[in-house]
Structure 1
Amino acid sequence: MTDAERAEFGIEGGWAMIRRHRVRWSECDQYAHANNTAYLTLCEDLRVSHWLTLGGRFELGAPGPVVSQIEARYLRSLAFDDAVATTLRPGTIRRTSFTHEYAVWKQGLVFSCRTVLVLIVNGSGEKVPIPPAMRARLIAEGAREE
């Protein structure tokens, strides 16, 4: 993340990933306000991208992250055609789960979110330990072991 991006969106703190987005009409209600689900979809898009950068896959029989808990805080509304930045960073890590922290920025923080993700084998639902290489990458990105 560049200093220019930080200044443009008012981003504070350290983040592992950033993605720009322009609020689409399909994400808005009839008054051109972004729907609550639009914020969560921005987080989901980053979550999927982050999983892939960790070496994860989305295949039957392969482990994948499943959201087991989500906490969202809406601070300011967004509207049609707003330019925003969404950021992600790992929070904590356990044996079979880890957390993500997200933020949406437009001239400062407008939304924050925290998810607990459990690593589950797609198809069987079995919880599995986070692989060592993935664990190391999460820690390198700032995750704290619990």
Structure 2
Amino acid sequence: MVEDADRAEFGIEGDWAVVRRHRIRWSECDQYAHANNAAYLALCEDLRVSHWLSLGGRFAVGEPGPVVAQMEVRYLQSLAFDDAVAVTMRPAALRRSSLTQDYAVWKRGLVFTCRAVLVLIRHGSGEKVAIPPAMRAVLVGQGAAEDA
């Protein structure tokens, strides 16, 4: 959950299940020291992977894991080298074998949003897999709505 100090420092609004601080690295920037568009997506990916691991998920052949099926992004403000930011994530919706997650990047207010639809597949076979009940319960506890 987002702490009051993070809300004050980064201007975070709303309810978010996970927050991670990050400082924009030179390797994430173009020649003018502006953060590359792909860097924003990598921040979301890093948070998605650590969240999956925190749920007890693994990345191994034969194991189910999330695969991005769709993304919608909005770039609201640019970021630059050495900017301190907060990246937030919350699960938004669950279906049998897929989930939707919302992400945001904050620096004195909202600078980027992303919505990703993830499908659980068994690595190696590509077979869709139902979200395990224990994982589903945690995601619902973090705010995810269960769709029909």
- The answer to whether the superposition gives a TM-score over 0.5 is yes
1:4, distance to aligned residue in structure 2 (A):
1.1
Which sections of structure 2, spanning at least 5 residues, go unmatched?
A: none
The answer to whether residue 50 in structure 2 is matched with residue 49 in structure 1 is yes
Q: Which residue does 2:140 correspond to in 1? A: 139
Q: Which residue does 1:82 correspond to in 2? A: 83
TM-score by length of 1: 0.99
Amino acid of the residue matched to residue 114 of structure 2? C
Q: Which residue does 1:126 correspond to in 2? A: 127
1:2, distance to aligned residue in structure 2 (A):
1.5
Identity of aligned residues (%): 74
Distance 1:2 1:104 in 2: 15
Distance 1:21 1:131 in 2: 31
The residue correspondences of 1:6-21 to structure 2 (distance < 5 A) are 6-21=7-22
Amino acid of the residue matched to residue 52 of structure 2? W
SS of the equivalent of 2:6 reads helix
Distance 2:124 2:18 in 1: 29
Q: Which residue does 1:91 correspond to in 2? A: 92
Q: Which residue does 2:110 correspond to in 1? A: 109
Which segments of structure 1 move beyond 2 Å, counting only runs of 4 or more? none
SS of the equivalent of 1:77 reads coil
The answer to whether residue 48 in structure 2 is matched with residue 36 in structure 1 is no
Distance 1:4 1:69 in 2: 33
**Which digits, 9 at most, give the CA deviation of each residue in 1:41-84, with x for residues without a partner?**
00000000110111100111000000000000000000000000
Q: Which residue does 2:26 correspond to in 1? A: 25
Distance 2:5 2:38 in 1: 28
Aligned-residue RMSD, C-alpha:
0.5
Distance 2:11 2:65 in 1: 33
